[in-house]
Structure 1
Amino acid sequence: MAGLGVRLLRPAHKGKPERAGAALFKPLRQLIESVNQTLPG
């Protein structure tokens, strides 16, 4: 993926500072997970 210019975002390791954009992606992830849980199987 690096050859295509794609950079994956993941949580920071324990004891390290949060990565840029973490404040944006946390609420978005919660929203996506809640929608997935409410959808019928």
Structure 2
Amino acid sequence: MATLPFDGNLLRLVGLSLLLLFLGRTGDPRTCAIDRAESS
């Protein structure tokens, strides 16, 4: 990691943004929707 640009700060920034993206999508109703039409 030390050989990466910005001493790994770029990798840390990418990892943090991916985490925020994942956490943002978990609250998205379109992602978490349960289709009840097929279950009945």
What TM-score does the superposition give when structure 1 sets the normalisation length? 0.47
Flag the structure with more relative contact order, 1 or 2, with Cα contacts below 8 A and sequence separation at least 6: 1
Question: Which has the larger Rg?
Answer: 2
What TM-score does the superposition give when structure 2 sets the normalisation length? 0.48
Q: Which has the higher helix share?
A: 2
